[in-house]
């Protein structure tokens, strides 16, 4: 008898839109084992080709099926330092699950849910043993930035016996995982637990360290044998339309940082405020936009719109996020682009004028290009706007670091096979190299760099 894909139990939409608790509740061990038994253990697993870090998917799933949950997490850790995070946030439908053979006729194996299960089980029930560490090498590594790429580099190299210090500009480590992705999608306790684990292995964390200001990369190179740069793509882009200065217009970085890192949702218990809009529009169609629109609902919005200039097919967010957003009541205004914001004399946002778009020929990105329809302007009444159209490289560090090669967007040029930059003893990876991408790509870049750094520290190349 065929077993159907196990549904992930979730908080009901009308309940969760009012709280910041995690949406999926997680598989029970029985459900996980049942789901794992769906995998046919392909000899040449397609799923694995879809995973950027080539997790041995059939092997970890086999462990779950047999109830060996510790074996499962060990298999995952071989390739992926952050399974609790990736199981939750990877765009599985275009990666591992997208290629699973079962997906041809039926639904693919729920690889992400199983990965999340294995990691959560270990965190909550697992034996608390630290992996063996190689003898100290006396070599010192500085990791700048504590997002997924930096955490991966630190975790890999500490086990190989090197002395590792992470420098983080904000007052808490985790990168986008802590300041960007909301609590209801990735509980901060999980990120904190990953960081604590590294700390117990011996990684030093120096928060409040803005490299480029507190200390330069060249100064770090005097104290450390190598430096890894994983500073992300943290510079917010604005729409560049009139009225962006009105009170209530946020970049998604600001909106999410206020609510996640500074816990504005718990104002006034926490001191940082955030405009609690009743009618919120988020501009953009990626994960960041979905996170902002869903945060707005939880902050008390009666209306939360996504305004996106292309169509539904083109929305770049994970399918699950779009689905969850819709369930919770986010309204999508597709094929619409903002023209200008309007506000009161004392500066409060009152609305946005938009223009309808139609799709033309595919552009360089392969997606159909939006074209304005003349005379199609319309007004939307809003009191909060969140601009979520992407982010680019923050020049703070790169400007103060001579010898790095940058591309025309300001990203650091690094060899994709090693993570080496043009500057001796400096490696880089993650969003600062690729531009805004994904957690698993950043973690994968961290793994590539840590292998290369280890070779350099051991053999000198």
Ligand X SMILES: Cc1cc2nc3c(=O)[nH]c(=O)nc-3n(C[C@H](O)[C@H](O)[C@H](O)COP(=O)(O)OP(=O)(O)OC[C@H]3O[C@@H](n4cnc5c(N)ncnc54)[C@H](O)[C@@H]3O)c2cc1C
Can you give the binding site for ligand X, defined by CB under 6 A?
89-90, 144-150, 167-170, 175-176, 180-181, 209-212, 230-232, 234, 256, 287-288, 291, 318, 394, 396-397, 430-432, 436-440, 442
85 binds ligand SF4 (CB under 6 A): no
Residue closest to ligand X, measured at CB? 232
Assess contact for 349 and 385: CB atoms under 8 A.
Answer: yes
Query: CB under 5 to 8 A by kind: which of other proteins, ligand SF4, ligand X, none does 171 bind?
Result: other proteins
Alpha-carbon gap, residue 61 to 72, rounded angstroms? 7
Residue number with CB closer to ligand SF4 (92 or 152): 92
Say if residue 11 is exposed, middle or buried (CB neighbours under 10 Å; 0-12, 13-18, 19+).
Answer: middle
Q: Which of 435, 119, 108, 117 minimizes the C-alpha distance to 286?
A: 435
Residue number with CB closer to other proteins (27 or 167): 167
Query: CB under 5 to 8 A by kind: which of ligand X, ligand SF4, other proteins, none does 370 bind?
Result: none
- Which tokens in the block code for residue 169? 């500009």
Q: Which stretch binds ligand SF4 (CB under 6 A): 41-49, 186-194, 213-221, 308-316?
A: 41-49
67 binds other proteins (CB under 8 A): no
Gyration radius of the chain's alpha carbons:
23
Query: CB under 5 to 8 A by kind: which of ligand X, other proteins, ligand SF4, none does 181 bind?
Result: ligand X
Query: CB under 5 to 8 A by kind: which of ligand X, ligand SF4, other proteins, none does 58 bind?
Result: ligand SF4
301 binds other proteins (CB under 8 A): no
Could you check whether the bond before residue 125 is cis, i.e. omega within 30 degrees of 0?
Answer: no
Assess contact for 248 and 383: CB atoms under 8 A.
Answer: yes
Q: Which of 357, 365, 349 minimizes the C-alpha distance to 333?
A: 357
- Which tokens in the block code for residue 330? 């986010």
Residue number with CB closer to ligand SF4 (243 or 316): 316
Query: CB under 5 to 8 A by kind: which of other proteins, ligand SF4, ligand X, none does 31 bind?
Result: none
Q: Which stretch binds other proteins (CB under 8 A): 119-127, 212-220, 302-310, 368-376?
A: 212-220
Report the half-sphere exposure of 394 (CA within 13 A, side-chain side).
Answer: 17
State CA 211 to chain mean position distance.
22
Residue number with CB closer to ligand X (152 or 351): 152
Residue number with CB closer to ligand X (33 or 110): 110
Over 125-180, what HEC string results?
Answer: HCCCCCCCCCCCCCCEEEEECCCHHHHHHHHHHHHCCCEEEEECCCCCCCCHHHHC
Mask for 422-441, x = binds ligand SF4 (CB under 6 A): ------------------x-
CB atoms within 10 A of CB 45: 22
Query: CB under 5 to 8 A by kind: which of ligand SF4, other proteins, ligand X, none does 176 bind?
Result: ligand X
Q: Which of residues 171-200 bind other proteins (CB under 8 A)?
A: 171
Over 165-221, what HEC string results?
Answer: EEECCCCCCCCHHHHCCCCCCCCHHHHHHHHHHHHHHCCEEECCCCECCCECHHHHH
Q: Which of 244, 326, 353, 415 binds other proteins (CB under 8 A)?
A: 244
Q: Which of 32, 72, 73, 109 binds ligand SF4 (CB under 6 A)?
A: 109
Alpha-carbon gap, residue 194 to 151, rounded angstroms? 9
31 binds ligand SF4 (CB under 6 A): no
What DSSP letter does each residue of 33-91 carry, written as one string? HHHHTT----SS-HHHHHSTT---HHHHHHHHHTT-HHHHHHHHHHH-S-HHHHHHHS-
Query: CB under 5 to 8 A by kind: which of ligand SF4, ligand X, other proteins, none does 243 bind?
Result: none
Assess contact for 333 and 308: CB atoms under 8 A.
Answer: yes
Q: Which stretch binds other proteins (CB under 8 A): 26-34, 122-130, 250-258, 426-434?
A: 250-258
111 binds ligand SF4 (CB under 6 A): yes
CB atoms within 10 A of CB 327: 15
Residue number with CB closer to ligand X (122 or 438): 438
Say if residue 237 is exposed, middle or buried (CB neighbours under 10 Å; 0-12, 13-18, 19+).
Answer: middle
Query: CB under 5 to 8 A by kind: which of ligand SF4, ligand X, other proteins, none does 115 bind?
Result: ligand SF4
Residue number with CB closer to other proteins (204 or 327): 204
The contact set with ligand SF4 (CB under 6 A) reads 39-42, 45-47, 51, 53, 55, 57-58, 80, 86-87, 90, 92, 95-96, 100-102, 109, 111-112, 115, 440
């Amino acid at each position: 008898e065929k077993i159907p894909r196990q549904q992930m139990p979730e908080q009901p939409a009308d309940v969760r839109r009012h709280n910041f608790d995690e949406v999926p509740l997680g598989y029970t061990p029985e459900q996980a084992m049942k789901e794992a038994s769906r995998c046919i253990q392909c000899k040449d697993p397609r799923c694995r080709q879809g995973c950027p870090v080539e997790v041995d998917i059939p092997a970890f799933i086999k462990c779950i099926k047999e109830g060996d949950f510790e074996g499962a997490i060990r298999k995952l850790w071989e390739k992926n330092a952050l399974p609790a995070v990736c199981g939750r946030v990877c765009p599985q439908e275009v990666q591992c699950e997208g290629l699973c053979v079962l997906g041809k006729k039926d639904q693919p194996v729920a690889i992400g849910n199983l990965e999340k299960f294995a990691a959560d089980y270990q965190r909550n029930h697992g034996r608390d043993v630290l992996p063996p560490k190689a003898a100290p090498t006396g070599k010192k590594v500085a990791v700048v930035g504590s997002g997924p790429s930096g955490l991966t580099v630190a975790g890999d190299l500490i086990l190989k016996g090197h002395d590792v210090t992470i420098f983080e500009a904000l007052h808490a480590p985790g990168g986008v995982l802590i300041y960007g992705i909301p609590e209801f999608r990735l509980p901060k306790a999980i990120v904190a637990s990953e960081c604590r684990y590294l700390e117990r292995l011996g990684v030093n964390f120096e928060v409040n360290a803005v490299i480029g200001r507190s200390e330069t990369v060249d100064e770090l190179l005097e104290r450390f044998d190598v430096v890894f740069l994983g500073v992300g793509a943290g510079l917010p882009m604005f729409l560049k339309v009139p009225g962006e200065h009105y009170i209530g217009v946020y970049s998604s970085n600001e909106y999410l940082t206020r609510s996640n890192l500074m816990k504005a949702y718990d104002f006034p218990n926490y001191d940082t405020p955030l405009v609690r809009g009743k009618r919120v529009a988020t501009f953009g169609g990626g994960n960041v936009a979905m996170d902002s629109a869903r945060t707005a609902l939880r902050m008390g919005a009666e209306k939360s719109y996504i305004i996106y200039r292309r169509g539904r097919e083109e929305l770049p967010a994970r399918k699950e996020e779009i689905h969850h957003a819709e369930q919770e009541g986010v309204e999508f205004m597709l094929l619409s682009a903002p023209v200008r914001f309007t506000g009161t004399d004392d500066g409060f946002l009152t609305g946005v004028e938009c223009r309808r778009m139609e799709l033309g020929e595919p552009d360089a990105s392969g997606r159909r290009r939006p074209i304005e329809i003349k005379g199609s302007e319309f007004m939307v009444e809003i009191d909060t706007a969140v601009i979520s159209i992407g982010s680019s490289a923050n020049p703070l560090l790169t400007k103060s670091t001579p010898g790095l090669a940058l591309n025309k967007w300001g990203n650091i040029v690094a060899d994709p096979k090693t993570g080496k930059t043009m500057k001796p003893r400096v490696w880089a990876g993650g969003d600062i190299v690729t531009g805004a991408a994904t957690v698993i790509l950043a973690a994968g870049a961290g793994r590539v760099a840590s292998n290369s750094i280890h070779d350099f520290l051991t053999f000198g190349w």
